Structures are given as C-alpha cells and as structure tokens.
Amino acid sequence: MSISQKFFCALLLLALSISPAAALTDKKIDISKLRGPKISELSMLIISNPDAQIMAAEAGELDIIGDIARPSDIDRLAKNKNLQMSIARGFHAFFLLLNNKKSPWDDAALRRAAAMSIDRSGIVRMIFSGYCEPINSWLPPVSPWAPAGGAQDIYDPQAARALLKKRGYSWNMAGRLVAPDGKEMPAMKLLTPLARVSPTTAELAQTIADSLSSAGFPVETEPMDFSTMINRLDRKDYSMAVLAWSMGRNPDSLYSFYHSSMDFDGGYNMTGTCDARLDRSLEALRGAPDEASARKAAREAQRALLELMPSIPIYSRFSVTAVSKKWKNIFTTESSTADNMWTLLAAEPRGGVGRPLTMLLPEEPRNLNPFTASSAYSWQALGVIYESLLTTDPYTLENMDAIASSWKVAVAGSGRARHTELTFKIKRGLRWNDGSPLTARDIKATVDFLRRNKIPRFFDAVKNIKRIETPDDHTLRVVMEDVSYWYLDNVAGLPAMPAKVVNAVRDWQNWDPLAGGGEAGPAGLIGSGPFMLKGYRAGEYLLFERNPHYRLLEGAVK
Amino acid sequence: MNAGWFAKRLLSSLFVLAAVIALNFILFRMMPGDAVSTIIDPSFSPEAKENLRAIYGLDRPLAEQFMIYVKRMLTFSFGLSFISRKPVWEELLSRLPATLALTSASMALSAAFGIWLGIKAALCRGRLAEKIVLGASAVTASFPGFFVQLVLLMLFARALPIFPLRGTLSAPPPSGTMNLFFDYVRHMALPVISLSLIGFGGWALYVRNLMVRALGEDFALMARARGLPRGRVVWHAFRTILPPIITIFLMSVPGLVSGAVITESVFSLHGVGTFLLEAVSGHDYPAAGAAFYLLALITVFCNLAADVSYGFADPRVRIEGKKE
C-alpha cells in the first residue's frame, strides 16, 4: 500500500470515527459542469468568541463553521445529530526551528539525530487526538509538490543514538550528551509562545523538549510573547524555537525560508541556512522556465533539505469543518473541506426551501478595501466578490480556468534578455457584477494600478512585470523581466477589478469602497465573483446576494 | 473649593495627561517588533515589508514620529489605523455606542442593586438576610468575569435559548424602529446582566460596611434617640457615605471601559474593548495610542469630577473650601 493510500485510509477512518455522516460528497464531481450559485443569499456572521462559535453551530445559527482547531470542539460537534463533519489535509505546517549558525545545531548530523528523537505520532495522538498528521517534509503533504514520503514519522531513537555515537558523542551518568571533546552539552532554550496565548503550541513545545531531553539533548522551554520571539528569531538570538505557518500549494516559499540570500536580520531564513547545493537548487526552482524544470528543481531542493535538516518538520494540521445537515451538495475533497467556493456554488437547502446560507466569520474584517485589506477575514469576504484569471482545481490543486479560458507560459528572448511571457485568453461575454463587460483591458488596468502604486500586498506578484499588452479585448500578454515559472501563479492570482474603478481611485490607501464614494475613489465593490455585497454591519454580519452576471450561473457564459 | 484649588487640580491633571502621551509613545516603541515584523509570509518579501513600513511612517526618525504623534493626540486626529486603514477616530466613534450602552447600563444596574443590598444588609445586621447578601456578594465578586459570562452564555443562550449568542443585532436586523430597538435590547441584555452580576457584590459589601459604621455614629444614635423615623435616619447616614460612593463610582468608569475587553470578547460585541485588544496585539500604534490616550482622559476627567462632586455631596467640603 502506498503512502497516499495509507493516508487516505487513515483519513477515511478518522472521518468515519468523528461522524457516521462524515462522508459528504464521496463521488468525484465534474467541476467543469458545476453551475451556481444555487443560493440567492449568503450571510457571514461575525462571532469572535470560539465557544460561542461552537454553540452557534450546535444551535443551528450557523450552517458552516470552518477551521475548527480544538480536538474537543471537533468531537463535540461530531456528536451533534444536526451536523455533518468534513475533514481534509491542510496547508498548515509546524516546525522546530534550529539556529544553524550556533553550536550544536551547526552540525547537520546532530540536527538529523534530533529529528529522529521526536515522537511525532505520539504528539499527533496525545495533543491533537489524531486531527493532524506527522510530517517529514518542508511542504505540507497535501501540496502537489511535496515528496511522496512527506507524511512519514521518522521517529527512531535507536538510529538517532547510533548516529550520535558515530559522530563521537557519548552520554554521561545523567543521560546528558557529552561532545567528542569531552564537554557536556550546554543547556538549550526552546522558545515558545506563552501558554495563555497558544496553549497547544506551549504544550507541544514541552513535549518536544521532553523528547529531546530523553535523547540526551538538555532542552528547556522558554515561553515568551510572540512578538518578542519573532524579534529574537529575526536577530538569530536563539537556539531552538517552535513556529507554524500556513503555506501555499507551491514550493517557491522554500527559497524565502532556506536560501542564503534571505539570511539577514528580519529575513525569512530564520534558521540561518547557508548551503551552496541547496542555494543552487532553490535558484533553479525560482528561475524554472516551465513546470517540468520546476518539478525537477523542487525535488532536488527537497532532497537537499532532507539531508541538511535545517529545521525539523513536526506536523500538519487537518482542516475540519462542520456543516448543517439542512444543506445538500456540500463539496469536499481530500484537500478541501466544505467551507470552499465550490460549496457556495453547489449548496442547496434540503427540502428546497430557499434561505440564506450562513457561514462563520471568526473576526470583524475591519477593512474591505482590496488594496489594503490584509487579514484572512477581510479576504474571506472579498474572496466571494473578486475573482482572478485562474483558480485552483479542488481535486488536483493545479491551475484551472476562471476569468481566463486558457493560458500559456513561454520563454522568449535569449541571453540576458531571456524572459517569461504569459498569455491569457479571457472568456467572452463576461460581465462585472454591475453588468458592464469584462475585458482584458480591465485586467491590464488592475495590474498596472498595482504596479504603479507599489501596493505592498501585491508588490511581489507584480514587481517583475516589464509590460502588459492587450492585442485585443480577449487577450492579455504579460511580459516579465526575467524567467520564472511562478510568475504565472503570481499574475493569475491577482484580484480582477474594472478599469473604470481602478482609474477612478485617487488615493488607494484612504479609499473606502463602502463609504458611498468620495475624493479617494468610487463607491462599491465591483467584481466578477459569485456574490456581491448587499449589507454590512460592522461587528455583526455581512450579507451577500448572488451576482446575476456570474459566469457560472445557469445559462451564463460557458 | 475655590478657583485656586481647581486650577491646581487642573494643572496636575494636565501633567498626568502629558506623561501618559509620552509613555504611550515610548512603551509601544520599546515593545519588540512592530506591525510589519510579525508578518511571516513568503509571498511578502522584505522589500514589500519596507514599503509597508514607509506607508505606516515607521521608517521615519523616532523624533519625527513623536512630533507627528503628539500633534495627532492634541488635535484628536489620530491618523489611520495600521490594520483597518480607516481613521482611528471614526473607528472609535463607531464602536463607542456598544461600549457605552454596555458599561453605563451595567454600572447603573450593579451600583443601584449593590447599594440597595448593602443598605439592606446593614439594616439587618446578624440576620439571615445579611448573611445571604454577604454570601452572594462574596461569591459573585470572587468568580472570574469571563467564567461567569461563559456560564451565563451556555445557560441562557444555548441550553435555554432566551438570549442571542452574539452581537447587538440579528442578521438581518428586523424592520421598524421599535423592532430594531427590542432586538438591540434582547442582544445587550445578557452582557449587561452578566457585567452587573459581577459588579454588584463589590458595591454591596462596600456600602454595607460604610453604612454599618455610619449608623453607629453619634449623629445616627442622636437621630434615633430624638425619635426620627427610620427612613430619615437611614437617609442621614447614607448622605454621610455619599462622597466615597461617588469616588468609587467615578473611579470605576475607566476600569469598566478596559474591563469591557473581556465582556465584548465573550459576547462578540463590536466595542472599544475589542478595539483596544486588537490594537495592542497587532502593534497598531495609532489605534493603541488613541485608545489609551482616551482612557487616560476619561480617568483624569473622572478624578476631577469626583473631586468637584465632593463639594456638592458633602457640605463640609464646600464650607472648608470657602474658608481657605
């Protein structure tokens, strides 16, 4: 049985164990034929108290509650007969960071021995009640770019001991490691956020410290404020630390975290990794001209990481969502729980009684200006209004058509003038939610606006664009300054806005689209997504109605 | 109380405010990291982070940042929030109604109920009624606020769904002004009741002690000996304890605003308390600076108001003030 088959079986068992009705949509749906939204209204209810969120789901006030993290909450909701659970692999990954510039972690063998001394399966079982998976890769196993053995638990204390012995280490009477020069290994601090802020992370850090201590590494946790911890990581004033982050589906992030050029105060290379071979493969990955070379470089980079072990991957959390049984056609895949865009398109109330679908919004979005909004909560709302050129296939996590019907990545020029050219064919007959036509010129205007104003959130996605051309209303050609396959994702992921809006925005920082127009810019959020904002009451709710011009509506553009 | 005394009090208040303004700036800058450094997102390069720092004005010299900050505090134009990119003043104003409704209603309720119970307990010394008041007050005052509120939420919003679980309005809100008003009252009832429940015990214990002492004073014995009705005696005794009650009442106002953080979080209310929390945790300097500055203003104002109101509540202060 392959690892992915093993994982699928484990996931299925877990899903069945949390609820007999957990299997929501087990048959594969042809998403190219999906039409919707079937619902005419969508409501996002703002509930910031995690306990009240669970109670609201139990009481039927919420139809969908996503990203349930606490195992006790998952178990509680799974017992509710009015709810069905969906579980999927997530993009979250948790790491033990090691300062590769400081002894003893400047020795790769020691890092590998430490990695083999941590019982990840035990952590998954004891702390997370099985709602996550152990990992041994620097990309979450759900990523199509992750290696095949990414979800393996490499816990092997005997092998770790053998490796340490081979390196000349021994153990004193107290079981503490003694270096080849006869010196006892000094005590090391493991930085962790405060228990009252992140109780699970603090508990996890303690478990890791205990695992390492039993292998001979004298490790103690040092809880501290999160900002203080990040500040120390930025300055590399640490020995060990625990940190989790949500990653994208692509491996390009590896460059930021492990390339030597990113090793400076405040740079993302917080482990201080500096290895010529790894650098070369990461450069090849970043500058890959096409998918095939990108895959090859990604494999090489991850192989190098496995040998170097600059940080220790620990686990990746599953995404868990609870959905009211009053709804049918809830869409889930192995990598996507029910709270996704496809569910919003396909969901229909059981019994055919039309009513709004109510989703949880865990925090007040505070900012609905698409240029300055940075929180996940703002984009949970903006994400149903705006669309991009391409979207992600929920089954394969590969690119699929959205505003663009087709796309091409090509390398043009030679020598130093060699560069990537992206060509997108825009679907015909598309309209913005105000009924005006959507053309390639709108996309050009959006991207030009983002480039001209160096808007921080989109800066990295557009900074390498040399020029944009629109040979006709349905063709967009983006000429980049150099070569990289990832430019496709950067450009294709930008939110599309009408030219008449971006051209009318005079002060993007102070623009408040909900304020009814003003000197800074025009009123309203005009996008091409499946919904449009109907009402918003700060701190209370957001109400959306179906975009009557949405491309996937029955009878709309095919 | 005279003009000289008032000017002195005013001056010292201004000094406190100046110190708060300076400390607000220094302490937040002394905290490690800023609103940009905690972003860990590989799609947000260090160059993009520098752009963001420039937009926030964090790339300017500290002295320049301080001058801008002081000017903003003095002119009440607190700048744009780092998180929402909206004027801080507008955001604070939009959140004020929920906090004001919550704190003023709960404060009035807990003070009125607590004072009434305290007087009752003082009048029933040694009896079962006093023991019940003392016991109930001690229990409610000693339980952590968030615990009491969570229990109430579970009992009266989930198990017995009398009150809503969140917010100040239903989604979508009902039509019609009266329906809207009743919907608002229904949503605010549980937070107000819970905050009053937590607060009344302290009042009851405090007033009971003051009243017991006041009723044992010579003037109260004299009044009783002269055959004054019980109500009149209690009223005279109560008047003598008014100044400390006023002080406690006014001094608890700033604490209520900052204490609203927990209540607003538990009941998902869009108020100043949660604004303060988000501002501090997100290193949102303009928002945090403004919120703490306003809290300091409220504190100083309440202090001053307590001093001034002494004169109205206690004739001795007025007379001694005139003598000075």
Give the tens place of pLDDT for each residue, B145-182: 888 999 999 999 999 999 999 999 998 889 999 999 99
**Does residue B69 sit in the same domain as residue B105?**
no
Strand partners, A242: A96
**Does residue B55 sit in the same domain as residue B119?**
no
Distance CA B107, CA B199 (A): 8
Integer Rg of chain A from CA: 25
Nearest Cα residue to A248 out of A330, A308, A135, A335:
A335
**Does residue B57 sit in the same domain as residue B166?**
no
Reported confidence tier of residue A24, pLDDT bands at 50, 70, 90: low
pTM for the full model? 0.86
Domain that holds residue B7: 3-75
Our CA-based measurement puts residue B155 at a distance from the nearest CA of chain A, in whole angstroms, of 11
> Count of CB atoms within 10 A of residue A5's CB?
9
Measure Cα distances from B248 to A245, B191, B199, B253 in Å. Answer: 47, 22, 12, 9
pLDDT value at residue B315: 66
Task: Say yes or no for a CB contact (<8 Å) between B167 and A46.
Answer: yes
Chain centre distance of CA A328:
27
Strand A419-426 versus strand A404-412 pairing type? antiparallel
For A105, which DSSP code? T
Interface test with chain A among B34, B84, B149, B155, by most A beta carbons within 10 Å: B84
Asked whether residue B109 is domain-assigned, the answer is yes
Asked whether residue B83 is domain-assigned, the answer is no
Our CA-based measurement puts residue A175 at a distance from the nearest CA of chain B, in whole angstroms, of 37
Nearest Cα residue to B263 out of B201, B163, B196:
B196
**Does residue B101 sit in the same domain as residue B142?**
yes
**Does residue B202 sit in the same domain as residue B235?**
yes
**Does residue B186 sit in the same domain as residue B285?**
yes
Chain centre distance of CA A166:
39
Strand partners, A8: none
Whether B30 has its CB under 8 Å from any CB of chain A: the answer is no
B34 vs A217 pLDDT, higher one: A217
Name the range with the highest mean pLDDT among A79-88, B271-280, B304-313. Answer: A79-88
A 531-550 near B (Cβ less than 8 A): 535, 537-541, 543
Q: What is the pLDDT of residues A418-465, one digit of tens each?
A: 999 999 999 999 999 999 999 999 999 999 999 999 998 899 899 999
Q: Which residues of A522-553 are buried (b: 16+ CB within 10 A; e: fewer)?
A: beebbbbbbbbbeebbbbbbbbbbbbebbbbb
Integer Rg of chain B from CA: 24
Task: Say yes or no for a CB contact (<8 Å) between A509 and B84.
Answer: no
A315 and A78 Cβ atoms separated by less than 8 Å:
no
Residue A22: pLDDT above 50?
A: no
Task: Say yes or no for a CB contact (<8 Å) between B43 and A539.
Answer: no
A25 and B242 Cβ atoms separated by less than 8 Å:
no
A 290-329 near B (Cβ less than 8 A): none
pLDDT value at residue A16: 45
Domain tally for chain B? 2
Task: Say yes or no for a CB contact (<8 Å) between A227 and B153.
Answer: no
**Does residue B316 sit in the same domain as residue B238?**
yes
**Does residue B106 sit in the same domain as residue B7?**
no
pLDDT value at residue A203: 92
How large a percentage of chain A has pLDDT more than 70? 94
Q: Give the residue from B75, B107, B123 where a domain finishes.
A: B75
Task: Say yes or no for a CB contact (<8 Å) between B283 and A535.
Answer: no
Whether B44 has its CB under 8 Å from any CB of chain A: the answer is yes
**Does residue B49 sit in the same domain as residue B148?**
no
Whether A43 has its CB under 8 Å from any CB of chain B: the answer is yes
A24 and A332 Cβ atoms separated by less than 8 Å:
yes
Reported confidence tier of residue A10, pLDDT bands at 50, 70, 90: low
Task: Say yes or no for a CB contact (<8 Å) between A227 and B158.
Answer: no
A61-65, A196-200, A329-333, B89-93: range with lowest mean pLDDT: A196-200
pLDDT value at residue A1: 46
If you write DSSP's letter for every residue of B9-37 in order, what string do you get?
HHHHHHHHHHHHHHHHHHHHHHSSS-TTT
Q: What is the pLDDT of residues B215-251, one digit of tens each?
A: 999 999 999 899 999 899 999 999 889 888 888 888 8
Q: How many CB pairs under 8 A join A and B?
A: 152
Task: Say yes or no for a CB contact (<8 Å) between A266 and B49.
Answer: yes
Our CA-based measurement puts residue A432 at a distance from the nearest CA of chain B, in whole angstroms, of 26
Our CA-based measurement puts residue A90 at a distance from the nearest CA of chain B, in whole angstroms, of 16
Q: Give the residue from B43, B75, B107 where a domain finishes.
A: B75
**Does residue B63 sit in the same domain as residue B163?**
no
Q: What is the pLDDT of residues B65-85, one digit of tens each?
A: 999 999 988 888 888 888 888
Q: Give the residue from B75, B102, B137 where a domain finishes.
A: B75
Whether A493 has its CB under 8 Å from any CB of chain B: the answer is no
Instruction: Output phi, psi for A67, to 5 deg.
Output: 55, 50
B271 CB neighbours in chain A (<8 A) are 539
Asked if the peptide bond before residue A104 counts as cis, ω within 30 degrees of 0, the response is: yes
B169 CB neighbours in chain A (<8 A) are 537, 540
Distance CA A521, CA A505 (A): 4
Asked whether residue B284 is domain-assigned, the answer is yes
**Does residue B96 sit in the same domain as residue B55?**
no
Chain centre distance of CA A230:
20
What are the tokens at A371? 């240029």
B31 CB neighbours in chain A (<8 A) are 227
Asked whether residue B82 is domain-assigned, the answer is no
Residue A122: pLDDT above 80?
A: yes
Whether A367 has its CB under 8 Å from any CB of chain B: the answer is yes
How large a percentage of chain A has pLDDT more than 90? 70
A66 and A336 Cβ atoms separated by less than 8 Å:
no
Q: What is the pLDDT of residues A128-156, one digit of tens each?
A: 888 899 999 999 988 989 988 777 778 99
Helix (H, G, I), strand (E, B) or coil at A412: strand
A47 and B173 Cβ atoms separated by less than 8 Å:
no
pLDDT value at residue A427: 96
**Does residue B33 sit in the same domain as residue B123?**
no
Q: What is the pLDDT of residues A360-403, one digit of tens each?
A: 999 999 889 999 988 889 999 999 999 999 999 999 999 999 99
ipTM value > 0.90: no
Reported confidence tier of residue A27, pLDDT bands at 50, 70, 90: low
Sequence-distant contacts of B296-305: CB under 8 A, at least 24 apart: B296/B16, B296/B17, B296/B20, B297/B17, B298/B253, B298/B254, B298/B257, B299/B253, B299/B254, B300/B13, B300/B16, B300/B17, B302/B250, B302/B251, B302/B253, B302/B254, B303/B13, B303/B250, B303/B251, B304/B9, B304/B10, B304/B13, B305/B250
Asked whether residue B85 is domain-assigned, the answer is no
Asked whether residue B70 is domain-assigned, the answer is yes
> Average pLDDT of A279-291?
94
Asked whether residue B147 is domain-assigned, the answer is yes
Asked whether residue B84 is domain-assigned, the answer is no
A514 CB neighbours in chain B (<8 A) are none
A407 vs A555 pLDDT, higher one: A407
A158-167, A186-195, A315-324, B301-310: range with lowest mean pLDDT: B301-310
Task: Say yes or no for a CB contact (<8 Å) between A59 and B158.
Answer: yes
Our CA-based measurement puts residue A16 at a distance from the nearest CA of chain B, in whole angstroms, of 27
Distance CA A207, CA A126 (A): 10
A190-194, A386-390, B137-141, B150-154: range with lowest mean pLDDT: B137-141
Task: Say yes or no for a CB contact (<8 Å) between B165 and A459.
Answer: no
Distance CA A130, CA A194 (A): 24
pLDDT value at residue B16: 87
Residue B8: pLDDT above 50?
A: yes
> Count of CB atoms within 10 A of residue B46's CB?
15
A82-91, A520-529, B45-54, B144-153: range with lowest mean pLDDT: B45-54
What are the tokens at B230? 């019980």
What are the tokens at A514? 């909900």
Q: Shortest CB distance from B171 goes to which of A43, A252, A457?
A: A43
B43 CB neighbours in chain A (<8 A) are 248, 253, 460-461
pLDDT value at residue A517: 67
Reported confidence tier of residue B42, pLDDT bands at 50, 70, 90: confident
Residue A407: pLDDT above 90?
A: yes
Which chain B residue lies closest to A45 (C-alpha atoms)?
B171
Residues 6+ positions from A122 with CB-CB distance below 8 Å:
A155, A207
A52 CB neighbours in chain B (<8 A) are 153, 157, 165-166, 266-268
Interface test with chain A among B41, B82, B95, by most A beta carbons within 10 Å: B41
CATH of the domain at B226: 1.10.3720.10
Longest dimension (CA), chain B: 85
